[in-house]
C-alpha cells in the first residue's frame, strides 16, 4: 500500500481483456469508484483516461484533495469496471493511504548535495561546522545544552573588570606568564578567570588560583588545561575579575535556571558557615542524604553548596530543598555531573536574612 500527501494526484494503470485473455479495448470508457476504508465512495476527483497509442490500457487519475472528500489518516481503495465484448467485469486496481505531510515536507538541506550527518555506528545528527550563523536574533526554547564555549565572554557578563586582551609570554598546562604591563602586586589576579581569545584553547576559561606579581607575572590555573588546549606563546588572553555577583540575578528565576555550577571562594555578607558530608551510598545526581540533620525543612533552600573534597571539589551547586528529619538535600535541575561519592564533604553559608546571597567569584 502506498502513501500520498493530502492534495496530491496519483495514477493507477490497468488493462482490459477479452474472454480469451487478450488485451483488448473496452466497449466504452471504463468507470472508477474510490472507496474510503469500509465507508462509502468518495465524491469527486476520480477520472479514467485511455492511454494514448495503446490497445486496452487505461489509467485512473485520483486527485486526493480535501475538496474532493479525501482525509488525512484514511485509506482508500481504487476500483474499476469495464465492459469488453458485452461482458462487464471489475476489480480493485490500487490502495493507498493519505497523510497530512510527505517526506518532502521534512526539514532538509536546501542544497541537494548536503546529506544528514550519520556516524559509523548509525547515529544521525547535525554537523555544527555546516550550520551557518543566523542573520537575526533567534529565540530557542526547551533546549538542553550541557556545555557552551563562549567566543565573546566580555559582552555576556556584567559586574566585572577586564585586563587585556594581551599576548602571553609563555604557558604550561597549569600556568600562564603575562607580558610586561600586567599588575605587579602579588595575588592581584587571584580568583579571577583567564579567558583565551585565540589559539587552540580559544573560547576556554580557567580560574586563577595564584599570581606571582612582578617576580614573573605568572598565573597558576585550576583546573589544568587538556594537553591539546595549552595556549602557545603569543596567544591572546583576557583576565576577568568579578565583583560581587547576585545569584538570583544570574539564575533569572528558579523555573528558568535549573542550576548553577560555580567556583566559589568566599561568600560575603551575614550568615554562619555550615559544613557537612554525604552520608549516602546510593546518592544520585540530584539528591542525597547528608549529615545535616535537624532544624527546619527547606532551611537551606536556594543556598550554594560548595564541594570541598572528591571529584568536584571547588564546584558549587544550588540547593532546591532540604529535609530536616533525614538530612536529605535536593539540588536544582540536573544536579552534579555524576553522583557525589559517600563521604564527600561540603560547606556553604546559611541564608542571610538581609537579602539574596551573593558570591565573590564567577562561574
Number of domains in the chain: 3
Q: Is the pLDDT of residue 156 over 70?
A: no
262 and 360 inside one domain = yes
Q: How far apart are CA 216 and CA 211, in angstroms?
A: 9
Contact 156, 162 (CB under 8 A): no
206 and 303 inside one domain = no
Alpha helices in the chain (DSSP H): 247-251
In a domain, 143, yes or no: no
The SS3 of residue 196 is strand
In a domain, 120, yes or no: no
Question: What is the model's pLDDT at position 357?
Answer: 35
In a domain, 76, yes or no: yes
Q: How far apart are CA 220 and CA 212, in angstroms?
A: 9
The separation between CA 353 and the C-alpha centre of its own chain, rounded to angstroms, equals: 37
Question: Would you mind telling me the total number of residues written for the chain in this entry?
Answer: 363
Cell of 216: 614573573
In a domain, 124, yes or no: no
Cell of 178: 603575562
In a domain, 248, yes or no: no
286 and 237 inside one domain = no
271 and 235 inside one domain = no
26 and 82 inside one domain = yes
237 and 305 inside one domain = no
Of 37, 69, 99, the residue at which a domain comes to its end is 99
89 and 12 inside one domain = yes
260 and 361 inside one domain = yes
Q: What pairs with residue 80 in β-bridges?
A: 32, 91
| Helix/strand/coil (H/E/C) assignment for every residue in 91-128 | EEEEEEEEECCCHHHCCCCCCCCCCCEECCCCCEECCH
Cell of 230: 595549552
Q: How far apart are CA 47 and CA 64, in angstroms?
A: 12
331 and 280 inside one domain = yes
Q: Which of 18-27, 164-173, 241-250 has the highest mean pLDDT?
A: 18-27
Instruction: Dump pLDDT digits (tens) for 297-308.
Output: 988 887 878 888
In a domain, 43, yes or no: yes
Question: What is the model's pLDDT at position 142?
Answer: 66
Cell of 56: 486496452
Extract the runs of DSSP E, i.e. beta strands, from 131-244: 160-167, 170-171, 175-177, 193-196, 205-211, 218-222, 236-242
The separation between CA 172 and the C-alpha centre of its own chain, rounded to angstroms, equals: 34
Q: How far apart are CA 209 and CA 175, in angstroms?
A: 10
In a domain, 104, yes or no: no
357 and 268 inside one domain = yes
Which region among 94-108, 132-146, 245-259 has the lowest average model confidence (pLDDT)? Answer: 245-259
Instruction: Dump pLDDT digits (tens) for 323-359.
Output: 999 999 998 877 888 999 999 999 875 443 333 333 3
Q: How far apart are CA 207 and CA 191, in angstroms?
A: 6
Instruction: Dump pLDDT digits (tens) for 33-90.
Output: 999 987 789 988 899 999 999 999 999 999 999 999 999 999 999 999 999 999 999 9
In a domain, 139, yes or no: no
Of 207, 242, 277, the residue at which a domain comes to its end is 242
**Closest by alpha carbon to 302, among 263, 354, 358?**
358
266 and 211 inside one domain = no
Of 99, 117, 139, the residue at which a domain comes to its end is 99
166 and 72 inside one domain = no
Cell of 156: 555576556
Q: What residues make up the domain containing 290?
A: 256-363
The residue behind cell 541537494 is 112
Amino acid at each position: 500500500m502506498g502513501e500520498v500527501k493530502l492534495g496530491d494526484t496519483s495514477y493507477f494503470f490497468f488493462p482490459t481483456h477479452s474472454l480469451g485473455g487478450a488485451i483488448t479495448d473496452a466497449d466504452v470508457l471504463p468507470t472508477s469508484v474510490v472507496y474510503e476504508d469500509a465507508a462509502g465512495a468518495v465524491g469527486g476527483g476520480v477520472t479514467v483516461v485511455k492511454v494514448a497509442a495503446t490497445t486496452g490500457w487505461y489509467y485512473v487519475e485520483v486527485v486526493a484533495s480535501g475538496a474532493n472528500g479525501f482525509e488525512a489518516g484514511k485509506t482508500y481503495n481504487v476500483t474499476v469496471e469495464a465492459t469488453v465484448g458485452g461482458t462487464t467485469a471489475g476489480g480493485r486496481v490500487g490502495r493507498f493511504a493519505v497523510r497530512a505531510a510527505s517526506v518532502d515536507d521534512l526539514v532538509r538541506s536546501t542544497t541537494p548535495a548536503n546529506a544528514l550527518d550519520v556516524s559509523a555506528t548509525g547515529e544521525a545528527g547535525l554537523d555544527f561546522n555546516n550550520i551557518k550563523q543566523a542573520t537575526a536574533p533567534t529565540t530557542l526554547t526547551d533546549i538542553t545544552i550541557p556545555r557552551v564555549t563562549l567566543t565573546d565572554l566580555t559582552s555576556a557578563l556584567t559586574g566585572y573588570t577586564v585586563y587585556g586582551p594581551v599576548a602571553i609570554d609563555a604557558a604550561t598546562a597549569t600556568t600562564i606568564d603575562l607580558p610586561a604591563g600586567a599588575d605587579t602586586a602579588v595575588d592581584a589576579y587571584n580568583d579571577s578567570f583567564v579567558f583565551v581569545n585565540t589559539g587552540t584553547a580559544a573560547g576556554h576559561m580557567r580560574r586563577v588560583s595564584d599570581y606571582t606579581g612582578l617576580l614573573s607575572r605568572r598565573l597558576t590555573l585550576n583546573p589544568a588545561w587538556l594537553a591539546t588546549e595549552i595556549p602557545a606563546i603569543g596567544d591572546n588572553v583576557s583576565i576577568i575579575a568579578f565583583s560581587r555577583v547576585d545569584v538570583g540575578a544570574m539564575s533569572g528565576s528558579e523555573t528558568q535556571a535549573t542550576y548553577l555550577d560555580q567556583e566559589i571562594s568566599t561568600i560575603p555578607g551575614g550568615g554562619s558557615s555550615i559544613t557537612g558530608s554525604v552520608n549516602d551510598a546510593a546518592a544520585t545526581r540530584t539528591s542525597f542524604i547528608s549529615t545535616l540533620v535537624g532544624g527546619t525543612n527547606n532551611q537551606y533552600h536556594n543556598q550554594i553548596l560548595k564541594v570541598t573534597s572528591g571529584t568536584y571539589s571547588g564546584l558549587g551547586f544550588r540547593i532546591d530543598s532540604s529535609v530536616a528529619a533525614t538530612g536529605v538535600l535536593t539540588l536544582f535541575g540536573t544536579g552534579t555531573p555524576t553522583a557525589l561519592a559517600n563521604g564527600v564533604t561540603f560547606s556553604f553559608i546559611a541564608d542571610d536574612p538581609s537579602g539574596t546571597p551573593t558570591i565573590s567569584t564567577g562561574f
